[in-house]
Amino acid sequence: MPTITIFKQDLEGLLAGPGEARQPMTLEQIEDSLMLVKGELKGQNPDTGELRIELQDSNRPDLWCCEGIARQIRVKRQGSLPKYDFLAPKSQSLKRLNVTPGLEKVRPFVAACTATGYRVTKDGLAQLIQTQEKLAEMFGRKRRTVSIGLYRLAAIEFPVTYDLVKPDEAAFTPLGMDTAMTLGEMLLVHPKGLEFGGILSGQDRLPFLRDAKGQALSFPPIINSREVGEVRVGDDALFVEVTGTDLSMVVLTLNIFAANLADRGAVIEPIEVRYPYKTDLGETVMTPQDLGRSRTLPVQTIERALGQALGVHEVAKALVAYGYEVTTAAEQVTVTLPLYRQDLMHAMDVVEDVAISRGYADFLPVMPSQFTVGGLSRIEEFSDRARALMVGMGFQEIISNILGSPQDLRDGMRLEGTEWGQLVEVDNVMSLNFSALRQWMLPSLLRVEAASNRAFYPHRIFEAGEVARPDPAQALGSRTVMVLGGMIAHADAHFSEIHSCLDTLFYYVGQAYSLEPVQHPSFLAGRAGSILSEGKRVGVIGELHPEVLERWQISVPAVAFEIDLTQLAERP
């Protein structure tokens, strides 16, 4: 979900169209209109007109810019989208971009166009740069699948070549540097080379964009040349290029730039890309290009999904007012997305656009009418019962993070190298404090005890909750188990005190148990037992080992038990 910055006056200008008077809007009107683009106003500066907008739809990169937002609102206001004229080239002799063999194994696709007649403004330049960054970052997966370059057209001589060179074969002065360096050097020292070099790792030849004179344009997807690859306010002729690994995404990205620049008044001229290898669009590909395929669907599908009878006409009207091209027949519509969108995967995507175009407020909520019976899972019921009994015995419930540290869960319990100390650990650790799932409950209780020596005694606390235990017999390598842990801590805390609680608990959940002495490192020897029920180990009880208390810096004795609710609940 990208968050972008736009300027109110720029938005108003784009709503009117090039050469027309701005259409002022209030903030409320803007907020309302943002419903059309799944946008939310996150912040604004009334002095500069700056608006911070979060766009939710990760499948609509065309909306991640001021031009796209303005376009969606404008289309709705005008009722339809005027057709972009650059798809049918005016001149017979198109500018060309030649692709070098071998790129199919490195970064196969490129799309490009020129834009002239729009003098770049400050706001316009800010949008161009922001769009370039957001699209490459979020849509282009950090430039891996799509990256974009903008250039000053005047300095470029066609045809341009999308070349493949050895790291030391080409050199130029990149943006942000004062001296020329080879592509290999850029990967080693340029900040962008360091950030994005991984995309090209393992390649012995690198993508390189140059013009007919051999002048360097850029090293895609890393960095542009400082000479021609830095667009400035006042420029009125641009060259736009997109490279990447997915042809339709590359073309879509260029389409979005072409539409954006056209909306600002630029004349877009397509460029012919010639590949030495086959692509889904052939070996000669003109870009921008409308990749939209039409889709026919019964109006009934839409009506049923929306729960509202609308009729062909209303459906078509809503879609046209959302930018679609629509033809109608009896009880069905054939729809095509505008060239800056490719997110139509399923009929339901059309359904949502009908709803958004009409406005969600247009649909009257109805209660689902069918009867269903509610209820809790067996384990939840059982756990609720055990919790109520613990509360009745004077225990305060606590609630803890399930993620903890091996230090607390294992070492602090003297369980290093034991079966009780086995943990499900996190691979990509962010903080050691949250790097393993708790395998039992007592560390959670000790966490509270350790922090609460000022709370008056006695302390009687419990928690019922999930733990995860490694188990190679499971497909997931671990089991999630619901357990209950209870602990008593005060100056005279004694085994029999916690034993009484355990005994009472088992009595009231209607199950029998017995204790069997156990050597468990967390407890004092001779004062700990396995809890057995129907011949199975279902828990442990004992006086906490003084060394455990010392490690947790607890200064009073503590006695505790833990039982496996999942096992007990499964019994009839």
Which residues between 231 and 270 bind another protein (CB under 8 A)?
248
Residue 512 in contact with another protein, rule: CB under 8 A? no
CA dihedral 346, 352, 353, 359 (to 10 degrees): 170
Q: What is the distance between the alpha carbons of residues 70 and 259, in angstroms, rounded to a whole number? A: 12
Q: Smaller CB distance to another protein: residue 116 or 400?
A: 400
Q: What is the distance between the alpha carbons of residues 534 and 115, in angstroms, rounded to a whole number? A: 80
Q: Smaller CB distance to another protein: residue 58 or 284?
A: 58
Candidates 79, 330, 454, 496: give the one binding another protein (CB under 8 A): 454
CB of 345 vs another protein, minimal distance in Å: 5
CB of 248 vs another protein, minimal distance in Å: 8
Select the span of 16-24, 196-204, 235-243, 469-477 touching another protein (CB under 8 A): 469-477
CB of 393 vs another protein, minimal distance in Å: 6
Q: Smaller CB distance to another protein: residue 47 or 419?
A: 419
Binding mask 346-385 for another protein (x = CB under 8 A): xxxx-xx--xx---xx-xxxxxxxxxxxxxxx-xx---x-
Long-range contacts of 306-313 (CB under 8 A, 24+ apart): 306/351, 306/354, 306/355, 306/363, 307/363, 307/366, 308/363, 310/354
Q: Smaller CB distance to another protein: residue 45 or 59?
A: 59
Candidates 129, 188, 432, 455: give the one binding another protein (CB under 8 A): 455
Q: Smaller CB distance to another protein: residue 281 or 448?
A: 448
CB of 280 vs another protein, minimal distance in Å: 10
Near another protein in 6-65, by CB under 8 A: 35-36, 38, 56-59
Select the span of 43-51, 93-101, 313-321, 478-486 touching another protein (CB under 8 A): 478-486
Q: Smaller CB distance to another protein: residue 329 or 376?
A: 376
- Sequence-ordered list of residues with C-beta below 8 angstroms from that of 28, at least 6 positions apart, any chain: none
Q: Using an 8 Å Cβ cutoff, are 531 and 515 in contact?
A: yes
CB of 455 vs another protein, minimal distance in Å: 4
- The structure tokens 């199919």 sit at 104
**DSSP SS3 for 269:** strand
Q: Smaller CB distance to another protein: residue 22 or 551?
A: 551
**What are 288's two structure tokens?**
């921008």
CB of 447 vs another protein, minimal distance in Å: 5
Q: Using an 8 Å Cβ cutoff, are 222 and 106 in contact?
A: no
Largest CA distance in the chain: 97
CB of 294 vs another protein, minimal distance in Å: 13
Q: What is the distance between the alpha carbons of residues 443 and 519, in angstroms, rounded to a whole number? A: 18
**DSSP SS3 for 444:** helix
Q: What is the distance between the alpha carbons of residues 565 and 382, in angstroms, rounded to a whole number? A: 7
Q: Smaller CB distance to another protein: residue 88 or 371?
A: 371
Select the span of 117-125, 250-258, 311-319, 445-453 touching another protein (CB under 8 A): 445-453
As beta bridge partners, residue 434 has none
Near another protein in 399-428, by CB under 8 A: 399-403, 424-428
Q: Smaller CB distance to another protein: residue 73 or 223?
A: 73
Candidates 138, 171, 181, 310: give the one binding another protein (CB under 8 A): 138
CB of 22 vs another protein, minimal distance in Å: 26
Select the span of 44-52, 236-244, 463-471, 532-540 touching another protein (CB under 8 A): 463-471
CA dihedral 301, 305, 311, 315 (to 10 degrees): -90
Candidates 447, 502, 538, 549: give the one binding another protein (CB under 8 A): 447
CB of 32 vs another protein, minimal distance in Å: 10
> Is residue 221 left, alpha or beta, with left meaning phi > 0 and alpha meaning psi from -120 to 50?
alpha
Near another protein in 63-122, by CB under 8 A: none
Residue 129 in contact with another protein, rule: CB under 8 A? no
Select the span of 412-420, 452-460, 537-545, 548-556 touching another protein (CB under 8 A): 452-460
Q: With the C-alpha atoms ordered 276, 97, 61, 316, is the resulting torsion angle positive or negative?
A: negative
**C-alpha 467 chain-centroid distance:** 28
Q: Using an 8 Å Cβ cutoff, are 230 and 172 in contact?
A: no
CB of 117 vs another protein, minimal distance in Å: 35
Q: What is the distance between the alpha carbons of residues 212 and 161, in angstroms, rounded to a whole number? A: 7
Long-range contacts of 475-478 (CB under 8 A, 24+ apart): 477/424, 478/424, 478/437
Q: Smaller CB distance to another protein: residue 9 or 401?
A: 401
Q: Where does residue 240 rank: exposed (0-12), middle (13-18), buried (19+ CB within 10 A)?
A: buried
CB of 89 vs another protein, minimal distance in Å: 28
Residue 218: closest CA among 292, 161, 286? 161
Q: Smaller CB distance to another protein: residue 203 or 452?
A: 452
Strands laid side by side in the 39-45 sheet: 3-7, 50-55, 39-45
Binding mask 277-316 for another protein (x = CB under 8 A): ---------------------------xxxxx--------
Q: Smaller CB distance to another protein: residue 93 or 371?
A: 371
Near another protein in 154-183, by CB under 8 A: none
Candidates 165, 450, 524, 556: give the one binding another protein (CB under 8 A): 450
Select the span of 195-203, 252-260, 460-468, 542-550 touching another protein (CB under 8 A): 460-468
**What are 71's two structure tokens?**
């376009």
Q: Using an 8 Å Cβ cutoff, are 253 and 132 in contact?
A: no
Q: Smaller CB distance to another protein: residue 88 or 399?
A: 399
Q: Using an 8 Å Cβ cutoff, are 302 and 313 in contact?
A: no
